[in-house]
Amino acid sequence: MEVVGVTTGVMKPLLSKLTKLLEEEYIKVKGVRKQIKFLRDELSAMSATLEDLADADPEQLNSEVRLWRNKLRELAYDLEDCIDSFMARVDDGRDGPTGFKKYFRKLKTLKARHDIANQIQELKASVMEASERHRRYEFARLKHKSGTSSIDPRLQALHEDIEKLVGIDVPKKHIVELLSMEMKGPSTKLKVVSIAGCGGLGKTTLAKQVYDTIKGHFSCSAFVSVSRTPDLRKILIHISSGVGFSGYTQDDGEQQLIDKIRNHLHCKRYIIVIDDVWDTEAWEFIKLALPNNDLGSRIISTTRSVTVAKCCSSQVYEMEPLSFDDSKRLFFKRAFGYETPCYPHLEDIPDRILRKCGGLPLAILTVSSMLTNQLTKAEWDRVLSAMGSALANKLDAKKMTSIISLSYFDTPYHLRTCLLYLSVFPEDYKIEKQCLINRWIAEGFIHEEEGRSKYEIGEGYFNDLINRSMIQPVDVKYGQAKACRVHDIILDYIRCKATEENFVTSSDASEHVYTTEYKVCRLCVSNHTEENVTIWKDPMLSHVRSVTIFGQPVKTCLLPSTCLQVLDLGGCRGIKDHHLESIETLIHLKYLRLSSSSITKLPEKIGELKYLQTLDVRGTRIEELPSTITKLQRLAHLYVDYKTRFSNGVIGQMHSLEEMREYGVESYEQGKSLQEFSKLTKLRILKIGWYLNSLEGSEGLRQAEGSHSYLGTLLSSCNLYNLFITYDDSYYPFSLDSWHPAAPCSLRKLCIKGCRIFKVPNWMASLGNLVVLNLQYMICLRPEDVEILGGIPSLLFLKLATLGGTNGRITVHCRNGFRSLKYFSLFIVCCGTALEFQVGSMPKLEHVKLMFHARERECLNGASDLGIQHLSTLSKVEVEIWGNCMADSNYNPTEDENDGAVRWVASAINGAIMTHPNRPIVIYKTHYHRDCVYLASFEDLLRRAGIELNWLKK
């Protein structure tokens, strides 16, 4: 058994709590301070040894050392339980010594003090025994490396830019040919093609590229993952959502879902990818929902088993490892950012490493991530030596495991704890970043540093795991991944490690939940049956710290564990109100997630959870939160739906709140309540859903402007980092002039969607920390608006939508600024506006996305190539065109014979790309649009809002 960093993850929060105890008044009980100081000092010494063990060669650890480590881990849990219990007894909900002194004045006997003293004395004896063993053993000391804090942009490019994928073109073309997509008059029969190959070869990547290439030829499409232990009902729901069917209910069973999907697809030409099929039973079940309707539908399946592949289809494509040349291209692109580096001092080491990887893309990415920016020959020699000479003779699966093990032990021990925690989640599960980091914090894996919040440190950990290719980024937007997935090979590895270390105990709810002599610390239950099941009341569950349930709820959802800190019931569709009846008994709970459940109300006693930090009730049936949430004085992250209501004055009392999503404004009174957020000095992230149905006329305009001004007070009184506003008011433009941000303003991200913005205010140029700006949409993008936006000094990502431009033109020139901008997206909603980039504009722009109408040449007001050749650092161009052309097809618009305007503009853009020195990638997407819509058609609506339109023509 290999030693991992789990035990160090236990010790860090324990030592932090012992240090805090020494700082407080309540340990002035005779002898207790001295004992706690002894415990801290002894455990600190042993913690340093644990860090060394985490980096040691597993083969050098004998059974005595392993037993010592395991016993110390259990002792640390017991001591932490003792401290938590003690603090809960003396904590009246307020920070600082005042609350503790007040409590101790209320103590009428010495029994409570003696109980604590006796427990510490007993634990001290155990620590002394562990300390004595520690002194008898000899441990080698090894160093570890610190992590990074942002996603490596080179790795991001590998995941984002499909044209840069290595070795994909030939197999992709072959799959398309098997699907008969390039034949004239393709067969109308349903056709299935299966992709087979071992783990880590890139089957999913290949299937996704084929899917993205041809899905525009179909009326509906879906991409779903099956996994080893599939939740078949959930898979059917994902298929339904993908193909655009929303007519299912929460109570529908599997057969009802199959019938509804078949009816929906009966008259549609569809393409569906069934990824990661492990057995024929799952395939046969899913196939029941996919009719052969003689409309030329297509299915792609991927599997590790050739037997399963042949069951799915007679057309089987067996993937091969990458060639040596392609392997080298991928390796160097990840390690250095380009395919042909020149580092002669490394000699033949890269080639020798690549031969050991055997052409497996996952293995190549994993090893090259370890060597990113490492130029010393000694470091490359170290990795080559660690891979071992025997690796080249191993089977693919064992080879992959050896490479993952190498990367795992190259990871700092604090990151290993966070990585092993991912074993809680099922295969192919999309893990939301904010949920994961909040869970890490609740578990005590992250400790605050000066000048950085725990969440910011957690983001650094998350990005570091991406950079090391241990997790895969999902939903990358504005340079940040909003979620991640764990490759199933890596998941198998960390699950094994988590089980060995008694870090996570998994159950399928049909077996006893533990198979270890040690207490269960973290329990994960997957119940995909239609029945509620029982978690046995076993003594080993008495100290469980974390419970996560996927699927149906269990009969004992709230375990009788006073140590429980994390309870995640998100997605348990059968959770009812009665499951929360004893919620107040979970006195140490820090994280509670109930999203997408059937809960209709929270119990009043939830206010007794004085340590709760995160509460997530999105997607539930809760209409109003109880007023007792004001007692949750440690609540930092609150996630609700926009329809969730709050009692008057509640929000202003939640002084620890750092993040709030999504506060709904559906009335003028709720708009006024936005002033309460100004009292929250710790608030950093706020998402608002603005669904105010304003009155028409002068009174409606007065209410709208008044509500908008309340939003402005947030920027002047709060230290907000991110502000998101989703707006739906059909009458009145959104006024930003009344906003007066504080100077300096801390705002880093501002997104306003769904509203009509009159103009860009002058104060926006003073947002010195703003990195991301999304304004959708401007009524008219004026030259002065472009000037103000270009003056924002730190702006990296800009996304705009506008009805049009002044006099039908939008011009970006070198005098506009935009000195830092890397990404620019512009959607011109109406016809009749020309866009032009002039020489020297946006000097650091790498990626541009342009969306406009081109049903007729007049739609572009004479523009053709848009001046793309003048964007000197450009590497990627995306163009979406609405015109008289095939909808959503991935074809070459320069060859479209049906729409001369589309062909004209696409040919001009291609010409500009060909003359550009960087030869940027260009991607076209087209939409069919029957009528041209011009800006003038919106004038009547704007006049009803009391807005003069003369300025549109200036």
Is residue 789 a part of any domain in this protein? yes
Residues 620 and 512 in one domain: yes
Q: What pLDDT does residue 117 have?
A: 67
Region 90-110 average pLDDT? 48
Residues 661 and 557 both lie in one domain: no
pLDDT band at residue 712 using 50, 70 and 90 as cut-offs: confident
**261 pLDDT higher than 80:** yes
pLDDT value, residue 540: 60
What is residue 886's predicted lDDT score, i.e. its pLDDT?
Answer: 53
Domain that holds residue 49: 6-136
Residue 495 and residue 511 in one domain: no
Determine the pLDDT at residue 758: 81
**Alpha helix stretches (DSSP H) within 301-453:** 306-312, 324-336, 349-357, 361-370, 377-387, 396-409, 413-420, 433-443
In a domain, residue 405? The reply is no
In this prediction, residues 401-406 reach a mean pLDDT of 76
**Per-residue pLDDT band at 258 (split at 50, 70, 90):** very high
User: Structurally, how many domains does the chain consist of?
Assistant: 6
Return the CATH number at 194. 3.40.50.300
> 15 and 43 in contact (C-beta within 8 Å)?
yes
11-41 pLDDT, tens per residue? 667 777 777 766 665 555 556 677 777 777 7
Is residue 318 classed as helix, strand or coil in its secondary structure?
Answer: strand
| Residue 799: predicted pLDDT | 96
Q: What is the pLDDT of residues 604-649, one digit of tens each?
A: 999 999 999 999 999 899 999 999 999 999 999 999 998 899 988 8
Looking at 75-84, 228-237, 361-370, which range is the least confident one?
A: 75-84
Q: Which domain CATH number covers 104?
A: 1.20.5
Considering the domain architecture, whether residues 908 and 880 belong to the same structural domain is answered as: yes
Q: Within this chain, do residues 785 and 934 fall inside the same structural domain, yes or no? A: yes
**Span of 39-48, 222-231, 273-282, 916-925 with lowest mean pLDDT:** 39-48
Q: Is residue 335 part of a domain?
A: no
Q: Say whether both 745 and 807 belong to one domain.
A: no
Domain co-membership, 941 together with 805 = yes
The verdict on residue 211 lying in a domain is yes
CATH of the domain at 868: 3.80.10
Share in percent of the chain as helix, strand, coil (round to 5): 45, 15, 40
Q: Is 882 left (phi over 0), alpha (psi -120 to 50) or beta?
A: beta
pLDDT of residue 433: 96
Quote the pLDDT of residue 162: 47
Q: Domain end: 570, 599, 634, which one?
A: 634
579 and 472 assigned to the same domain: no
Assigned domain for 578 exists? yes
pLDDT band at 482 (very low <50, low <70, confident <90, very high): very high
Arithmetic mean of pLDDT over the chain: 78
State which of 617, 634, 651 marks the end of a domain: 634
Query: 684 with 769, same domain?
Result: no
Residue 168: per-residue pLDDT: 83
Q: Within a domain: residue 376?
A: no
Q: At which of 604, 634, 664 does a domain end?
A: 634
Instruction: Name the token pair of 255.
Output: 């057969």
**Which residues, 6 or more positions from 314, have their beta carbon under 8 angstroms from its beta carbon?**
none
Quote the CA–CA distance of 856 and 875 in Å, as a whole number.
Answer: 29
Say whether pLDDT at 204 is over 80: yes
- The string of DSSP letters for 6-56 reads HHHHHHHHHHHHHHHHHHSGGG-STTHHHHHHHHHHHHHHHHHHHHHHHHS
Same domain as 623, residue 534? yes
Please report whether residue 37 resides in a domain: yes
Identify the top-confidence range among 79-83, 415-419, 676-680: 415-419
- Residue 39 placed within a domain: yes
Residues in the chain: 954
Supply 131's token pair: 């300390």
For residues 806 and 946, membership in a common domain is answered with yes
The enclosing domain of 464 has a CATH number of 1.10.10.10
> In this predicted model, what pLDDT tens digit does every residue of 144-184 receive, in sequence order?
333 344 665 545 544 555 445 777 888 888 898 888 754 34
For residue 669, the tally of other CB atoms under 10 A from its CB is 10
pLDDT for residue 717 is more than 50: yes
My answer on whether 598 and 703 are in the same domain is no
Rg (CA), the chain: 30
Residue 694 confidence (pLDDT) above 60: no
